[in-house]
Structure formats: C-alpha cells, structure tokens
Structure 1
Amino acid sequence: MTAAVAEPPAAPAESSHEEPAAFFPHRPATLEAAGLPIAEVETLVLKILLNRGPTSGRDVARQIRLPGGLIADFLRELKRENVVTYRRDAGPNDYFHELTDVGAVRAARAHDRCRYDGCAPVTLGQYVESVAAQTLRSQTITPAALRDALRGLQVSPETFSQLGTALGSVGAMFLYGDPGNGKTTIAERLTRAYGEELWIPRALQIGGETVRLFDAAVHEELAAVDERPACDERWVRIRRPTVVVGGELTLEHLELIMNPVSGVMEAPVQLKANGGTLVIDDFGRQQMNPDSLLNRWIVPLERGYDFLNTPGGKKVKVPFDLLTVFATNLRPTDLVDEAFLRRIPFKIRAGDPSPAEFKAIFEALAPQMGLTIEPGAVEALATDHFVSVDRPMRFCHPRDLLLQVQRRASFEGLPPIATTEALTIAVKNYFSDL
C-alpha cells in the first residue's frame, strides 16, 4: 500500500552522502573554446543593439553571458568593419555601441530569421557530454536517499522496494491505482533520491536553431557556490528537475516548438526533464491516445536517446536521460498492449490504506493543522462511514476531512477538536453519495 501523508517509521541510520556532480562548465577563454561560430555571436550582438538601442559593451556581454573581455574585442572588430559605432563613453574602457546603417541591415535580416536575443547557446555536442557526465545512471540509489525523498509520506515496504529498484534502473514505470492515494505526490518526489545538483545550458544550438532549454517554470536555479572556479555563465546550476505534464500533453509538446509570443524556439518537455523525472500525470486521458505517445517513445525508452525534427527538416539525435513515470487511475493492461508493457518494466500499484494506517494518518496530520482528535472519533468514522457502507478508504481522506473540521471550527468559533460529530458533518459535506 502506498500513501501521501504520514511519516514513515524510523529506520537505522544510513549515509545519504551525495557525490558532487562530475561536470563543471568552466569559463571559456576564447570564442573557439565556447564552441561558438563568429557568425552566431555577431547575430546575437546585432539583435541586442537593434532591440535595445545604444548599449554598453558590459551590458551586451551580460545579456549573452560571455566574458566581457571576449565581447569587448569582438565589438572593436565590428567597429573596424563599420557595423557598429561608438555613441558615448560608458565607463573605463567601454562605450555605448549603436548600429551603423550597414549594421542595421544585417541586424534586421538576423531578426527576421530568429527573434532570439538572449544568452549565447551551447553546442549540442557540449550538451551531450554534460548529460553523459551527470547521467542518472551514475547515481547510487540508497534506501536512505529514497527515504529522505519520500519523507512525510507513508509507503509500504513492498512499494518502497519496488520504487528503489525502478529508480536504480532509470527506465520507465507505471504508477497506478485509485484516485486519492498519492500517485502524483510520490512521482513528484522521486527525483530527490538521485541527488540535487545538475548543470544545464540556458540555450542550445540544435540543427542550426537556437533553442531555449532553461525554463523557470520547471527548473529551480540553485545559489552560486563561492569557492568554485569561474563558470561559463551560459550554464545554470539547477535542482534535478521534475517535469509534470497532464491532459494537455500532445505530440507537438514532444518536438521543438516555436513560442508564438516570444518568437523563440522552446525545448520539448522530455529535453527539459533530462537529468530528472518526467511525470505523465493522469496517463490515458491526454488529447492523444496512449499508443501514439508510446509509439513516439519506443526508441527513447529502450535506447536512451531521442530524435527531434527541426523546422528546417533536419532530424537531430539528443539525449533521453530521465526517469519516466506514467501515473494513472487506470490499469496498465487496459491502456496499452503487451508489447508496450514490456517496454515499461515496472508496474507499481498505489493501493488503499489499511484501517491502522488510516488512523495513523489522522493522528499525524491533526497536530500539524492545530487540531486534537476526540478519543474514538476516528474509529467511529471508519466504522460508520467507510466499513459499514463499503466505501474504500483513500490516503487523501484524512487530510481533506480534517480541513473541513478546521475550517468549520474557524468559521463558527468552535474548539479545534475533531469530534465524532464534526467528522460526521465533514463526511456529509465531502461525499456526494449521502
């Protein structure tokens, strides 16, 4: 049985030491070391000056996140070529730069091709090397690490073992069972067992396209570590990601997508999840049928790499280094055929709590919510409103019913006590079959 609320029983202390990431992006000394063609740097600089007007060399370097010295040399070369000119001083050894007529024509052409004017991209080759150096497959999953990841949740020994085995294999799993038993909550926690740190590029160069990879909506940037050497600022240190997609998922989300508002190419969800976990929540209820999704991912799930189609018609090989979790209320055998089930080697059921677990969850949650429980109230609740009416207990029920008690007590000025009467009123409010 699996759950989403009570603290697991204490276990013998184990080391959960995490090895530091094997990869570190050192600051490049030259544009060649950064892997950037001169033409790529030029188009970014020109678009910045086109969109922002006169800009200091320091601000240009800050925008594209390359060392100021490299950009200062590059801007001087552009001035010699009559592409930019100096508007006025911008401090020691710096100027406000603006486009000449020649530069404005070049900038407009570059902008028409691609509106992106942010951080300079990292090459696909550099990204592939970084994924290999930080791969989930090099992480050691220990019981202590998984226990820490699931802290605050209650998981049976059998399910705990299944989850640990699945994490160690870094493949795909079905996490299935009835609604309210914590499937999504568990899935969202699993990444924590792999360790914390991951470096990813802010943007990638894929098949001639600049693709934005870092997404503040799904990636959590970590604070800088002062004692480390100077890093390449085109990279960002993040917490290993957990990307959750639901019913809105379509096949288009699995390809490079042009954002119609920003005019910038966005990475697909599986690329954003590299180094972490991709949760397909409520699997089977997407706008596309399950077979379409699994057909799309036969090669990635088996081989650890994917192919993306660029707008220019190129097919580009990219890493697929992530744990894929299909969370669903439906039985896996009702969703896909045997051939697909074989490619998803772990099927883990999130079952209902036992009466003892049900009571333990109430007792663990009530103090956290500022409530006390009247002796015998939970037993009466279980007998009268679950067992006698053949209603299944779910792991979400204690939290939801106690919230009802808490809110009613606050509104009516009642003592914060979960009495038999208060829980009965909560049941009548909560269940639609009374």
Structure 2
Amino acid sequence: MQTTLVNEIETGFVERRRSSMPSAPASVEETGLDFPFLIELLTKTLFIRGQLKLLDLVTHTRLPLVVLEPLLAFMRSKQMCEASRSSGAETAISYNLTELGSARAEDYLRKSQYVGPAPVSLTAYIDQVKQQSIANMHVSREQLSEVFTGLVVNQRILTQFGAAMNSGRAIFVYGPAGSGKTFIAEHLAGLLTGNVAIPHAILVDNEVIQVFDPLTHVPAFSPERSQRNGAPSDSGGLVLDRRRMSDQRWIMCNRPVIKTGGELTLRMLDLDFDENARFYQAPPQVKANNGLLIIDDLGRQLAPATDIMNRWIVPLDRRVDYLSLHTGKKFMLPFDVIVVFSTNLSPTKLADDAFLRRLGYKIYVGALSEDEYAVITRQVCEELQIPFTEQGFKYLLHGLHEKYGKPLFACIPRDILEQVRDFARFENVPAEMSSDLLDWAWGNYFTHD
C-alpha cells in the first residue's frame, strides 16, 4: 500500500515537472519587458486589428488583464486610444486608436512590424530551457524496445543509441547509403518524453525573435484543455479574472524534433532577419532546444562539411551558442539539444580528432545479417501483398546479392519488391517473387557500367 502511494506521489511530481509552465505575470514589471515596448506592441495591435474588446486584446497579446490595464490607462492618458462600453460588463469594453495613436503606430511599425503575442525576456527563456533540459530525460531499455517494436535493428546498435540518448550529447551516425541510418534517427523521436514550454517569441535588446513554429512545434494539449488552464480562447469564452494562471506567452509542446538535410547552409544557423518586417526568426538549433536536431546527409550541403562541423564546436563543448543581431550585438543562448549527425562519409573525412571527441557517440550502421534481411523481406511482402517464398528469397540472396557482390542493406527489399508490384500492376499479372521479376527489378534498381 505504501509503495503504491509513493509511486503515485512520484508520478504526480514527474507529471507536474514535465508540464511546468511559468506563472502569469502579475504586473508589467513581472513580464520582464520594458513599459515602452509593451505600449508599442499594444498600439500596433490596435492599429492592425482595429477596434478590439478587452478579451480580444488578451487573446492577441497573451497578456493578462492585470498587465493590460495600466498600459491601456497610460495610452488613454496620453490620448492615444479611446474606450467605449456597450454594457455594464467588463468584457464589453472596446478600445480603438485616436489619430495621435494611429500616427504613433505608423512610427512603431517602421521600427518593427511584429504584431503578435508578447515575447518573453531572454533571462526567462534561459531559465526555462535549463529547467526542462534534455539532460533530465531518461531512456530505459523498455522504452527503447517499445519504440522499435516490429522494426529490424541490430540489438548492439540499439543499445548504443539507448545509452547515447541518456547522455544528452551529440550522436554521429555513419555508414553506407541505404543501411537505415536516417530511419533509425527519425525513430529516436519516439524516445523523447515530457513536455516543454516554448515561447512565441523572445526579446533581446528590444529586438523580437520568433521561436514558436507551428510547422515544427506540436502543442501537447488540445485547445479545450488549454482554455481550462487559462489560455486565451478565440471563441470568446474566457472569463477575465485576475487569478494567478500560467503565462500564455508560452505554449506547452512535445519535445521538438527538427530534421534538416542537404538544404542546410551556414547562414541558416544564424538569426534570420527580415529586412522588411524588421524582426527575426530563430535558427533551427534554437527551435530544437530541449529536443532533437537531426542533420541528415552530412557532406551533401552546399557549404563544406568541415565548415558546418566547425560551426558546432563551441555549442557541443560548452552547451551554449552565440548569436548576433543585425545591430552587431552578440548574446548567448542555451544549446540544450541532442544533435544527430547522419552521413555516408567516413568520420575522418569530415572532422579532426578534436571535433570527433566532442561528439561522444560514434555509431556505425552497416549491412544486415541474413536473418535480419529475411525478416525485413517478409514484412515488406506482407505490406505489399506479395507472397513470400523461400525459393524467391534464396534467389534474391544468392542469385542476386551474392552474385553481384551487393551488401544486404535494409532499404533494398522494399525498393526491389515495390518495382515487382509496379510491373505486376502494369502487366495485370500476379505480383510474385519469381526469378524473372526479381531480375527485372534488380536491373532497374542498380546502375550498370
């Protein structure tokens, strides 16, 4: 009985820690932002959106009522906005800009066209990233087995990946093309546990840097659940109270997973400043903080692989990254990411010993055993509805792989058998593992001198 109680208490503690959101600011000072910046943001919001009710301002700025009230009072005192009330309810108050307020808004928009949720301070962001660090996440063999259930991966390699995910350090995966490196790397995302709070944006030296990316970050809760926790609702159902709730400038998300490949350039690893809009997009390593960053096909980028690898020396070693604003100001951000480098090239061709030492785990993924290759072939046959035959498999193994000296890579059964299926559809004949069809598919798949 006591053991059960202890487990429930520990489980409850872990869940609270995993879903820890910063508390909503109870004053302008607690936002960590300057009063003038918030006035500018509120003025631009009213200019772009037009007349807004108090509830709409809460929704657009993600700021609580106790923060908006003094800002709006100041704007009214300076004749920048007007308030009108359609009924006695507090939610019935609407605000719109005066001519003076509109003129100010145009000036503010020339400085920056950012009109969105209020950002968080750099200090708050750093503290939150440290609190929900990827280093706090533990991966067990049971989790690993569950994520890779039904997948054919050598147990030695799985053990290496399981240990590497507990280290919080970078993982260098290398081996020949088609051996399954990317496939394994993508499945590592299933080992990520816990939720993390991600800000819509952060503010550095009065410059806005957008962090939350709807194409990358996956909210952990449904809109309905978020509303129950005090999040703004576009439906208008939020009650405007002054109780301490979570800070809605943050979104609770699953740990992020970002994958980039041959399109990666050195410039993409720096802040992306929009010259017209006058605000920034965070680079992929910042969006991936507290999560996983997969750099696939290393060596196929436009920039030399050695330059890309050298860019990561300081972040991998010190767990911090240095970025620069267009004004020249440099600042430091946490680098709390498990980076997975995947490449077909030999490690010694990409980096020197000093850099390879910083990677921690170097995992080679090569050819399969005959038994592993047979399991994959059976799985593909079942999926494609092609009858598996021992005779056909032996021909694939000895009549083709062995004859032509091709290693047993994980990608080959699917690639070959899909061509068998394609041919059968075209000729309107049964798809089967006959020597003729396998020969035909093999000849299409591999190039000839």
TM-score, normalised with respect to structure 1: 0.89
User: Aligned-pair distance for 1:430?
Assistant: 1.9
Counterpart pick for 2:26 among 10, 25, 29: 29
User: Aligned-pair distance for 1:83?
Assistant: 0.5
C-alpha contact 2:257 2:291 (8 A) present in aligned 1: yes
User: Aligned-pair distance for 1:69?
Assistant: 5.1
User: Aligned-pair distance for 1:399?
Assistant: 1.4
Partner of 1:105 in structure 2?
103
Percent identity between the aligned chains?
A: 33
User: Aligned-pair distance for 1:262?
Assistant: 5.0
- CA offsets, 1:393-434, max 9 Å, x none? 211111112222233333433334444433332222222228
**Do residues 79 (structure 1) and 79 (structure 2) align?**
no
Comparing 302-311 with 253-262, which one deviates more in the overlay? Answer: 253-262
Partner of 2:216 in structure 1?
218
What is the one-letter code of the residue matched to 1:28?
Answer: P
* Equivalent runs, 1:287-302 vs 2, <5 Å: 287-302=302-317
C-alpha contact 1:173 1:346 (8 A) present in aligned 2: yes
Partner of 1:172 in structure 2?
170
**Do residues 336 (structure 1) and 369 (structure 2) align?**
no
- CA offsets, 1:319-374, max 9 Å, x none? 00111111100000111122222222221111011222111101122222333223
- CA offsets, 1:253-294, max 9 Å, x none? 121111357543101111111111111111122222233223
Distance in 2, Cα, partners of 1:59 & 1:228: 18
What is the one-letter code of the residue matched to 1:238?
Answer: C
Alignment RMSD (CA, Å)? 2.4
**Do residues 183 (structure 1) and 211 (structure 2) align?**
no
Secondary structure of the corresponding residue to residue 404 of structure 2: coil
What is the one-letter code of the residue matched to 2:438?
Answer: L
User: Aligned-pair distance for 1:103?
Assistant: 1.2
Partner of 1:149 in structure 2?
147
What is the one-letter code of the residue matched to 1:149?
Answer: V
User: Aligned-pair distance for 1:249?
Assistant: 1.7
Partner of 1:5 in structure 2?
none
Distance in 2, Cα, partners of 1:148 & 1:118: 40
What is the one-letter code of the residue matched to 2:196?
Answer: L
Give ranges in structure 1 of 5+ residues lacking alignment. 1-16
**Do residues 284 (structure 1) and 299 (structure 2) align?**
yes
- CA offsets, 1:125-153, max 9 Å, x none? 11111111111111122112222333443
* Equivalent runs, 1:18-417 vs 2, <5 Å: 19-20=14-15, 21=18, 23-68=20-65, 70-86=67-83, 89=86, 92-93=89-90, 94-224=92-222, 225=225, 230-259=245-274, 263-417=278-432
What is the one-letter code of the residue matched to 1:220?
Answer: V
- CA offsets, 1:40-83, max 9 Å, x none? 22111111122222232322221111224542553243123201
- CA offsets, 1:164-219, max 9 Å, x none? 22212211121011111121121222233231422111111123211100112221
User: Aligned-pair distance for 1:250?
Assistant: 1.9
Distance in 2, Cα, partners of 1:262 & 1:156: 50
Distance in 2, Cα, partners of 1:302 & 1:90: 60
Secondary structure of the corresponding residue to residue 140 of structure 1: coil
What is the one-letter code of the residue matched to 2:296?
Answer: D
Would the alpha carbon gap of residues 325 and 108 (structure 1) be closer, same or farther in structure 2, given more than 3 Å must change?
A: same
Would the alpha carbon gap of residues 350 and 207 (structure 1) be closer, same or farther in structure 2, given more than 3 Å must change?
A: farther
Distance in 2, Cα, partners of 1:337 & 1:423: 43
Partner of 2:242 in structure 1?
none
Would the alpha carbon gap of residues 151 and 30 (structure 1) be closer, same or farther in structure 2, given more than 3 Å must change?
A: farther
User: Aligned-pair distance for 1:88?
Assistant: 7.1
C-alpha contact 1:175 1:325 (8 A) present in aligned 2: yes
Distance in 2, Cα, partners of 1:102 & 1:243: 45
C-alpha contact 1:198 1:239 (8 A) present in aligned 2: yes
Comparing 406-415 with 172-181, which one deviates more in the overlay? Answer: 406-415
C-alpha contact 1:123 1:206 (8 A) present in aligned 2: yes
C-alpha contact 1:87 1:96 (8 A) present in aligned 2: yes
User: Aligned-pair distance for 1:26?
Assistant: 2.6
User: Aligned-pair distance for 1:387?
Assistant: 0.5
C-alpha contact 1:359 1:379 (8 A) present in aligned 2: no
Comparing 344-353 with 35-44, which one deviates more in the overlay? Answer: 35-44
- CA offsets, 1:83-116, max 9 Å, x none? 1124774993334422222212221221111111
Give ranges in structure 2 of 5+ residues lacking alignment. 1-10, 231-244
Distance in 1, Cα, partners of 2:70 & 2:56: 14
